[in-house]
């Protein structure tokens, strides 16, 4: 009796490594959003360290795995893991007051990855100049603010000025510090990008 054997192709080690790094950063994002979340009384959107991790996802994982990592984070929260700000979870968060920010995260990671790495292979972000890093992160922050503000304006039926005052203005100083922190982490060279 003859048996037909077909070979199974192994997944490339680089893919496994990239997926593992994406999963680790997704877990870090969940921890940062829960532990590093501070409600502010005059805004329905809390201050969160999640944006810092989004920056790192784009910088270290690039335009493919950065958004994939955010996707893992969003999926974990959607299925019930308490990974969103203040330990929240579920689909309701993805349509709630801060949903615009959450949906902006994969786009922001993609833009950072594309601006830093282009379409080619991942480069060490520590070798990128500070002005280029700053432009990439500020561009991502602008996307996060834009989607977060538009969504908040829609959900709470606010005027544009009121939405900007709730969704952008209170966060500018902290978000600029997160950009400085992300650049310091990258330039510190302590994280192996490969």
CATH number at residue 158: 1.10.1760.20
CA dist., res. 60 & res. 63, Å (int): 9
Mean pLDDT of 122-133: 92
Average pLDDT over residues 42-60: 92
pLDDT for 8 beyond 70: no
Whether the per-residue pLDDT at 36 is higher than 90: the answer is: no
User: Regarding predicted confidence, which is higher, 2 or 165?
Assistant: 165
CA–CA distance from 4 to each of 1, 7, 8, 9, 10 (Å)? 10, 10, 13, 16, 19
Identify whether 152 is part of a domain.
Answer: yes
Residue 105 lies in a domain: yes
Residue 1 lies in a domain: no
Look at residue 6 in the predicted model and tell me its pLDDT.
Answer: 66
Residue 137: inside a domain: yes
Instruction: Please say whether the beta carbons of 29 and 83 come within 8 A.
Output: yes
Mean pLDDT in residue range 107-125: 91
**Is 7 within a domain?**
no
pLDDT score at 97: 92
For residues 133-147, average pLDDT: 98
Q: How many domains does the chain have?
A: 1
Contact 48, 37 (CB under 8 A): yes
Answer yes or no: is 8 within a domain.
no
So what's the pLDDT on residue 133? 97
The domain of 181 spans: 14-188
């Amino acid at each position: 009796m003859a048996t037909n054997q077909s070979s199974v192709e192994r997944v490339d080690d680089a893919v496994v490594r990239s997926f593992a790094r994406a999963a680790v950063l997704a877990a870090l994002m969940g921890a940062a959003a829960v532990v590093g979340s501070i409600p502010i009384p005059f805004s329905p959107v809390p201050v969160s360290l999640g944006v810092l991790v989004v920056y790192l996802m784009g910088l270290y994982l690039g335009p493919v795995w950065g958004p994939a990592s955010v996707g893992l984070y969003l999926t974990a929260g959607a299925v019930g893991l308490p990974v969103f700000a203040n330990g929240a979870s579920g689909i309701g968060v993805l349509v709630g007051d801060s949903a615009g920010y959450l949906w902006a995260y994969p786009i922001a990671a993609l833009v950072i990855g594309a601006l830093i790495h282009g379409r080619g292979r991942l480069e060490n972000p520590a070798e990128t100049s500070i002005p280029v890093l700053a432009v990439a992160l500020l561009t991502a922050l602008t996307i996060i603010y834009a989607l977060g503000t538009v969504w908040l304006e829609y959900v709470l039926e606010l005027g544009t000025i009121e939405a900007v005052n709730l969704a952008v203005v209170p966060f500018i100083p902290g978000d600029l510090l997160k950009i400085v922190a992300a650049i310091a982490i990258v330039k510190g060279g302590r994280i192996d990008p490969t």
